[in-house]
Structure 1
Amino acid sequence: MRLPGHPHPRLPLPLAGQDEDMDAFLTWLGEAIPLVRHLGIRAMRWEGEALVWELALSPSLNDKGTGFGGALTAQATLLGWCWTTLWLRRQGRAQDVVVAEAGQRFLAPVSGDYRLVCRPERYDGPVQLAERLAAKGRGRLALVQQLWCGDTLCLEARGDYAVLP
């Protein structure tokens, strides 16, 4: 059982040249952040520079039978944290990541299972982050998340994620 004030042990970095085991990462994430086990994440994968989650709606239902905005916002924020953390791990870096700023716009109700897609706000964002990390050991990256229910864009979110020294 996790206790407040006690950090969870880090997941070992993948060996150089090896891809991240996404199932192992999700298992670790559910141990590190117990809420994750209740989010309905079915799958996680990279699609180019985008990190994608497939999610079941049932754990995030509201009183109207659609997606609860607070749960959807938490998922978008956490997906950005995962993008940044996994990107760092690809670089062989084990650094802490925190969300510094986040916001969202709700565009349509979420009425079925959905997917969340996260990517850098700017195509050169990861390159700039790598340069800041090399120079200062810390940096910040802007990410955007989109929630799709079928072909309908239901939520757009943006977050700044800080990489701590």
Structure 2
Amino acid sequence: MAQQQMTQQQMTQQQTADEFLIWLKGQIPLINHMGFGDLVYDGQSLQMPASLAPNVNDKGTGFGGSLSTVATLCGWALVTLYLREQGRDCDVMIRDSQINYLAPITDDFYAEVALPDAAELKTFMSYLDNKGRGRLNLEIEVKQGDQVAMTLKGAYVAVEKKM
């Protein structure tokens, strides 16, 4: 029974991710040209795949600006999806970030991020409840296969929308 419930939950989360990507493409037209594949979301982590072809530079490798865009967007999307699941309507933005390029991307790639531990999430939600804004620090990895090609450490801020 638990296995069946888990499967239903996974299906619901994947449907949420599919609908989110459709919404996102309507909100940010640029990403319609970046070769995004289907998001993989499990309620705790998110993978955002992209094709190399529309993100290639003059050397035939992944363009740094595209990689940072995919990573930034992946973190933003995870925070937004998490807040929506909590019933929160917030504006989410990246406050600051640090990027490290570790290896060239020579094929299709993906960004991957996971929510922080429960204590950090509790603090984040407490700040939202008490101050109307909160911050989450995330580390996003851009990978080709299992190789990490870039990391982005970013502070994402969520602000409750005013009614």
Report if the CA contact (8 A) 1:56-1:114 is conserved. Answer: yes
CA-to-aligned-CA distance 1:47-75 (integer Å, 9 cap, x gap): 46211112211110000000000110011
Q: Partner residue of 1:9?
A: none
Summarize the alignment of residues 1-165 of structure 1 with structure 2, pairs less than 5 Å apart.
Answer: 19=13, 21-47=16-42, 49-120=44-115, 124-165=119-160
For the residues of structure 1 that align with 2:137 and 2:105, how far apart are their CA atoms?
25
The CA RMSD measured in Å over matched residues stands at 1.6
Distance 1:91 1:48, change over 3 A: closer
Identical-pair percentage: 36
What is the deviation of 1:115?
A: 1.7
Count residues with an aligned counterpart. Answer: 148
User: CA distance change for structure 1 residues 60 and 138 in 2, over 3 Å: closer, same or farther?
Assistant: same
Q: 1: distance between equivalents of 2:98 and 2:144?
A: 20
Larger fraction in helix: 2
SS in structure 1 at match of 2:89 = coil
Q: Is the 8 A contact 2:128 2:159 kept in 1?
A: no
What SS is found at the alignment partner of 1:75?
helix
Give the CA deviation at 1:125: 2.4
Q: Deviations over 1:6-26 (max 9, x none)?
A: xxxxxxxxxxxx645222211
Where structure 2 has 5 or more consecutive residues not aligned to the other structure, the ranges are 1-11
- In structure 1, the gaps of 5 or more residues are 1-17
